[in-house]
Structure 1
Amino acid sequence: MTGPVRVGVLGCAGIARRRMLPAFHACPDTQLVAVASRDEAKARDTAREFGCAAVRGYPALLERGDIDAVYVPLPAALHATWTEAALRAGKHVLAEKPLTTEPASTEALAALAASGGLALMENVMFVHHPQHAVVRRLLADGAIGEIRAFHAAFTVPRPPDGDIRHDPALGGGALWDTGVYPVRAALHLLGEDLRVAGSLLVPGGPGDAVDIAGTALLRTARGAGAHLTFGLDHAYRSSYEIWGSEGSLTVDRAFTPPADHVPRIRLARRTGTEEITTGPDDQVLRTVTAFARAVRAGAPLEAASLRQAALLDELARRAPDARVPAR
């Protein structure tokens, strides 16, 4: 492929308008061609804002010959349907997290993409921020000795009652929304041999229809424990801490730092505490750049996304009184 990757967007969700469409527009490796909505007026308003074409309905966008790849920012329960439709239309896909709410569906989409030489990528943006590469390097260099424990939290204030995150039919609930972040952080920093040791999902929201909060306990093959907290009715928290045999590492604003945020990684050891500062960076733009690179390579879905899907499913199934759809 020569020239920028030509991108179409299926839907006008808030995350698309606030973060992803500006990044597609700004990235030299992508060209924002069209945005689709079932609401023609909404498509026109969004397209006007970003200087691209407006399309009524998702199938019409997938039929366009001037689009190489699509971004899917729809509710979680719709990701599998429209990702499959896009792949069958010969389009590369960047889909919001979680890619699906069932491991079998995630595996099937990965296989479908691979069979067509198409890139499939889950939009987990924080893993592209350089601060986490610094943490991984410190761990590999033995800065805190052997890893003993990992604590991560991602919690946000309560959404309005009509928000889709309160709707179980659309894949709502804390596990599928905020739980993805600490689970993926554990995979990113501890490795993919994690196993579920325990799970708790707390019902809440209008009519107690979904899980509004949760806690997960994972373990590595070497015995390190990962304690994860997530929620949709909390004070904001976005952080993780890794404890080792000789020290600890702490990262605040770990998952959704703004582009102008200056990351500070605290490294505490017996000899004292130091603060490692990295430069500000735009993880949204980095993600879009990574997707363009994946499109050119026809890259398969990352193994971490497949393992993440399995862990999230097991956390849902093992939680007592979970408010998640039975499957």
Structure 2
Amino acid sequence: MDALRIGVLGCADIARRRMLPAFRACPDTELVAVASRDPGRAEETAAAAGCEAVTGYDALLARPDIDAVYVPLPAALHATWVRAALRAGKHVLGEKPLTTDPAATAELAALAAGSGLTLRENVMFVHHPQHAVVRRLVADGAIGEVRGFRAAFTVPRLADDDIRYDPALGGGALWDTGVYPVRAALHFLGPGLEVAGAVLTRGGPGRAVDTSGAVLLRDVTGVAAQLTFGLDHAYRSSYEIWGSAGLITVDRAFTPPAGLPPRVRLERRDSAEDLALPPADQVLHTVADFAAACRTGAPLDPAVLAQARLLDRIHRAAGNTRPAPTAAAATERPT
């Protein structure tokens, strides 16, 4: 079967560092072109990636030699350009969060399904095999009945002009690092989570966005999930699952380097074991999964819709009153 021909809308850092190399390395995808509103930036990025440069996102979507697009634009632009790509007949891999509005996420899911197109959100850690091992341990009763969950994803302070500090572009810790522990809670505890409490703390340039957060979720049985995230912290990327008979700890859980052996620890009453698991490239796994989904027209993972609703409830529970991001504001920055 022919490789899926990929176009990229924007030259974001994550695209240049991680996704463009993965599209080139995956045998199921062919990187065709990258677009920017800035011709020079498009040329520079395309030259490094070994593909064509296109000026303007509409020009790329109009090309008949592209089957699917990757959208790594600021969060405030996701809904606009994911919608445009679907209407242009392209499959879409959208950077996380797919949108900052659960209604918009549901609309895009319906549009993709009605058009026979695949829509995916680029939450990559769920494609790393270490988490399937953890799920299997839990299902097999290795730690007894699940009693609690804790996850954290925090990163050091960013440059003052980073878009994640700009509320008009969809910035803030909840939309950036917060997605990971929220998705991990859904991944292991299921979709029936409710918000028991949430705090979002503002900081950074002008104190315009939330730069840290803490959330307490609970499922229908009363199992609690304690989540922490932030943009101004020592690096932390981990989760723990407590059970009635043991504990599973995963370090470097969300963004592990491709060559790093997973750090999964299983502790029980009289033993502690570090599981010997092979390294895996979760970026490459994500790209391969997207290509496979495009071949079958698989619908959007329901976890994406559950995540969108939960993020919105967290935002509301925290009493955050910052203005919603707008596509108009986001167009002020070329990418």
TM-score normalised over the length of structure 1: 0.98
For residue 8 of structure 2, what is the aligned residue in structure 1?
9
- Cα distance in 2 for residues equivalent to 1:324 and 1:183: 22
For residue 91 of structure 1, what is the aligned residue in structure 2?
90
- Cα distance in 2 for residues equivalent to 1:85 and 1:92: 11
SS of corresponding position for 1:176: coil
For residue 284 of structure 2, what is the aligned residue in structure 1?
285
Letter in 1 for 2:303: A
Structure 1 residue 205, shift from structure 2 partner:
1.1
- Cα distance in 2 for residues equivalent to 1:301 and 1:168: 27
Q: Does 1:65 align with 2:68?
A: no
SS of corresponding position for 1:108: helix
1:152-301 correspondence runs (5 A): 152-301=151-300
Residues 326 and 58 (structure 1), Cα distance of their counterparts in 2 relative to 1, 3 Å cut: closer
SS of corresponding position for 1:151: strand
SS of corresponding position for 1:273: strand
SS of corresponding position for 2:153: strand
**For structure 2, which runs of at least 5 residues remain unmatched after alignment?**
327-335
Q: In 2, are the aligned partners of 1:8 and 1:70 still within 8 Å (CA)?
A: yes
For residue 29 of structure 2, what is the aligned residue in structure 1?
30
For residue 105 of structure 1, what is the aligned residue in structure 2?
104
Residues 244 and 293 (structure 1), Cα distance of their counterparts in 2 relative to 1, 3 Å cut: same
Structure 1 residue 323, shift from structure 2 partner:
3.9
Structure 1 residue 326, shift from structure 2 partner:
9.1
**For structure 1, which runs of at least 5 residues remain unmatched after alignment?**
none
- Cα distance in 2 for residues equivalent to 1:321 and 1:283: 33
- Cα distance in 2 for residues equivalent to 1:312 and 1:239: 19
- Cα distance in 2 for residues equivalent to 1:324 and 1:236: 28
Q: In 1, are the aligned partners of 2:252 and 2:263 still within 8 Å (CA)?
A: no
Letter in 1 for 2:83: E
Q: Does 1:147 align with 2:146?
A: yes
SS of corresponding position for 1:175: coil
Q: Does 1:116 align with 2:142?
A: no
Structure 1 residue 305, shift from structure 2 partner:
0.2
- Cα distance in 1 for residues equivalent to 2:231 and 2:50: 34
Structure 1 residue 320, shift from structure 2 partner:
3.2
- Cα distance in 1 for residues equivalent to 2:45 and 2:205: 30
For residue 39 of structure 2, what is the aligned residue in structure 1?
40
Structure 1 residue 10, shift from structure 2 partner:
0.1
Structure 1 residue 264, shift from structure 2 partner:
2.2
Deviations 1:140-174 (A, max 9, x none): 00000111110000000111110000000000000
Count matched residues.
326
Superposed CA RMSD in Å reads 1.1
For residue 53 of structure 1, what is the aligned residue in structure 2?
52
Structure 1 residue 322, shift from structure 2 partner:
5.0
For residue 131 of structure 2, what is the aligned residue in structure 1?
132
Letter in 2 for 1:154: F
Percentage of pairs with the same residue: 70
Structure 1 residue 63, shift from structure 2 partner:
0.2
Deviations 1:202-223 (A, max 9, x none): 0111111000100010001111
SS of corresponding position for 2:174: helix
Structure 1 residue 275, shift from structure 2 partner:
1.0
- Cα distance in 2 for residues equivalent to 1:51 and 1:208: 40
- Cα distance in 2 for residues equivalent to 1:224 and 1:326: 33
- Cα distance in 2 for residues equivalent to 1:323 and 1:316: 10
TM-score normalised over the length of structure 2: 0.96
Structure 1 residue 321, shift from structure 2 partner:
4.6
Structure 1 residue 48, shift from structure 2 partner:
1.1
- Cα distance in 1 for residues equivalent to 2:287 and 2:76: 23
Letter in 1 for 2:279: P
